[in-house]
Structure 1
Amino acid sequence: MLPRKILLLLGFIFSTVANAFAGEGTINTGDTAWVTMATAMVMVMTPAGLALFYGGMSRYKNILNTIAMILIAYCLASIVWVVWGYSLAFGESDSLIIGNLNYLFLNGINIHSVSGTIPTIIFVLFQMTFACISVAIILGSVVDRMKFSSWIVFTILWITFVYAPVCNWAWGGGWMHKMGALDFAGGNVVHINAGVSGLVLALFVGKRQGYGKNAMIPSSVTFTALGAGLLWFGWFGFNAGSALEANGIAASAFLVTNTAAAMGGIAWLFIEWKHSKKPTLLGLASGVIAGLVGITPAAGFVTLTGAILIGAISGIIGFFGVAVLKHRIGYDDSLDAFGIHGLCGIWGALATGFFASPSITQGASGLFYGNPGQVWIQFVSIIATIFFSAIATAIIVLITRWLTHGLRVEKEVELAGLDNALHGERAFEIE
């Protein structure tokens, strides 16, 4: 019998060599457990968090319609993603513009497939939740007036022809990735993409009846605050989960996400307090979301100091977009998808070029760490996303309008409320 110490030494050597040869093709149970949990957290953001957040801000006669449109968007995006969306976004292609259809119906992906250190199936699902919430964010620009049938057609086309290409550019090996653009969890892919698309859709659909003349009071600020809390919780999966491993970068992303959210809420609250003399719960909740949006592209690249500055400025930008810019220009972005997601997403993506620190992720350095060229790379990626999202969404809107014979509900339906007219249901029984 060999001495116990020799046996332990041989076992250690064997396991070390085995792990070295296994590389990234081996499933790590800790990473898998974390990304599975993160996927569930991001899933909750859409049919629960965003549904409450948007539902509470919509008028009482349209709250169920708002939630129904979010739920159907989640259902449709889920199917589109596993049938052809994932393949278009992550299928290997030499075009650097769009993937391919090799993974149609997830062909070739099974329980033995591995991406990094997690099962490919989990990676597919994690990315699916991003697609789902991206299209649902757009709804905030057009609640109270868009046809349910038009929304269904728009959702399918947008995931296919807008979301999938931008996702491929940034995360699927496309030109943005090759250029070195930094987008940890979706500044370009999710927030700029959805925010700009929401603005374009709102311009095509037109303003709500009585907009700028009649008071359009939220049905329940309480619902909105609860929705913000659920979104905040889910955002930890959104950002920290994007590390795709249970490691220090995930922990750092968790920390800076919470910090930026808190700073966004504080900044919005105090600037609103000074501007309108009242600190509102709606403003506080909106500021938290603004901070979360701003930190999303930077979460895996910046230090605590960067997160504090990104979050605070996000709160200020969000307030400016909602309280000033929208009214001066005169567009009707119902629940401020562009004002919060679009504008704060732009700021967050650009700020990543300033604050990215190699102490967090090696090879990711911004202006303040000796790499001014990263700011230009971030700027190019932002401009490209804005122009592509705007033009592609406009084309999709025109196709949708033709297929569904108009985008907007009839005037009588809009004035009466979409809940009862379209769904035969009411959220509240009012005596």
Structure 2
Amino acid sequence: MRKVVLGIILIALSILTFFSNYFLNGNSVPAEPVVFDSGDTAWMIVATALVLLMTPGLGFFYGGMVGKKNVISTMLQSYMAMIIVTILWVVVAFSMSFGTSIGGYIGDPTEFFMFQGVGATTAWGTIPFLLFALFQAKFAIITPALITGAFAERIRFWAYMLFMVLFILVIYTPLCHMTWHADGLFFKMGVLDFAGGTVVHMSAGWAALAGAMFLGKRKVQKVNPARITYVLLGTGLLWFGWFGFNAGSALGANSLAVQALGTTTVAAAAAGMAWVFIDKILGHKLSAMGACIGTVVGLVAITPAAGFVSIPHAIFIGIFSSVVSNYMVSLFHKGGKIDDSLDVFACHGVGGMTGMLLTGVFASKSINPAVTDQGLIFGETTLFVTQLTALIMVSAFAFIGSYALFFIVNKITPLRVTEDKEELGLDISQHGEYL
């Protein structure tokens, strides 16, 4: 039955794409070409490629942490996000994110259906509209990939892909629209999220927690990481790609992009330094895993604040987020009640929330004139309250919504592999491949 359904989906999608020009465009005359800023366009092409690189980087980061018999499956979860979400984004998800607002919650799914009206000769500011849409696609791709670390080593692959599709349509697109569309609920509230604190990291973090709770614990929770060298490589690719993630969110080759690049650099370094210092203070050895995890936490925390805060404040954000996430990781491990395999909630969820709140503390008009209400440190309280309100709303929506999606998917097809397949390893049981 599943094969029949998949075949029907492929045939329907092929027919739809074949006839889309006829049904949606008709015989319309192409619009006159628009002259774009060549520097902005060139930078955004590079930034788009950099953000895409983050997803295979995440695959290496996660793949190196799991047991040897689950490396391929864990990495493939990230690679399949690049494949599935790209098509989903073109078909309807971009329109749901950036189409004409419906009540401030979601975009009109028909406006840019199949990328109609999203062309290389139409403008989004100083860059082609198509380039903006493709840049945003990379954010959508990495978000469900981030979630996979929480239920690593025990999820059925087809169930994961179904969850990924539903997550993008039900959780990601409303958050993206509410945060980054000019008529979105959070945007109109004055919420500041430069590059994805709410949209990417908080949504992924809370979904990860929901997934870890729903799927339950692994049979064997303590495993030797398969490849620490993969973790180091993945961290390097993530840090490199994150410059596109944050600096690219300035949407141009300008001073704001430079500021975001600077804050991203120092926050990551400060968080990595803080993490290994904390480990040393607690009597642990200075580990490659600790340095890598701390660095990624800093990248997560600076994401919502990157274009709104100064360099010294970015250092504080990196150090503070590292301390908080390190504590949360140890708290989860000591409690032992929730098996978040790769500490996604403690690092991405908590890191994203920390960054959102600290944006409300340090955001400055002198850094970004778009800041209307400055942070607490400048004696203003409005922005901090706004950030806190959005944090609570996003947390509730992402967690409850994601848990409901896991429940629905599990009713359609079992989420968790059987005990014997978990024991065998997902590389063999799900894909018939091994290292």
1:327 positional shift: 2.8
Equivalent position to 2:58, from 33, 46, 50? 50
Establish whether residue 190 from structure 1 lines up as the match of residue 190 from structure 2: no
State, as a whole percentage, how many aligned pairs show the same letter.
42
Distance 2:137 2:402 in 1: 20
- The question of whether the paired residues in 1 share the 8 Å contact of 2:118 and 2:133 is answered with no
1:324 positional shift: 2.2
Q: Which residue of 2 aligns with 1:8?
A: none
- The question of whether the paired residues in 2 share the 8 Å contact of 1:326 and 1:333 is answered with no
Establish whether residue 70 from structure 1 lines up as the match of residue 78 from structure 2: yes
Equivalent position to 1:308, from 297, 312, 315? 315
| Cα deviations by residue, 1:182-212 (Å, 9 ceiling, x for unpaired) | 000000000011000011011111110033x
| Cα deviations by residue, 1:6-43 (Å, 9 ceiling, x for unpaired) | xxxxxxxxxxxxxxxxxxx7511100000110000000
Give TM-score, length-normalised by structure 2. Answer: 0.90
Q: Which amino acid aligns with 2:200?
A: V
Q: Which residue of 2 aligns with 1:226?
A: 233
RMSD: 1.1
Q: Which residue of 2 aligns with 1:158?
A: 167
Q: Which residue of 2 aligns with 1:17?
A: none
- The question of whether the paired residues in 2 share the 8 Å contact of 1:326 and 1:339 is answered with no
Distance 1:322 1:57 in 2: 15
Q: Which residue of 2 aligns with 1:140?
A: 149
Equivalent position to 1:325, from 329, 332, 348? 332
- The question of whether the paired residues in 2 share the 8 Å contact of 1:176 and 1:381 is answered with yes
List aligned pairs for 1:31-430, cutoff 5 A: 31-47=40-56, 49-101=57-109, 102-173=111-182, 174-211=184-221, 215-328=222-335, 330-364=337-371, 365-404=374-413, 406-427=414-435
Unaligned runs of 5+ in 2: 1-33
| Cα deviations by residue, 1:87-132 (Å, 9 ceiling, x for unpaired) | 0000011410111121110112222111011001110010000000
1:329 positional shift: 5.7
Q: Which amino acid aligns with 2:131?
A: I
| Cα deviations by residue, 1:117-169 (Å, 9 ceiling, x for unpaired) | 10011100100000000110000100100000100100000001000000001
Distance 2:158 2:345 in 1: 23
Give TM-score, length-normalised by structure 1. Answer: 0.91
1:395 positional shift: 1.6
Q: Which amino acid aligns with 1:407?
A: L
Distance 1:360 1:82 in 2: 34
Distance 1:180 1:78 in 2: 30
Unaligned runs of 5+ in 1: 1-24
With 365-374 and 292-301 compared, the bigger mean Cα shift is at 365-374
- The question of whether the paired residues in 1 share the 8 Å contact of 2:102 and 2:108 is answered with no
Aligned residue for 1:279, secondary structure, equals: coil
- The question of whether the paired residues in 1 share the 8 Å contact of 2:120 and 2:131 is answered with no
| Cα deviations by residue, 1:238-284 (Å, 9 ceiling, x for unpaired) | 00000001110100100010000000000000101111331111000
Distance 2:334 2:98 in 1: 40
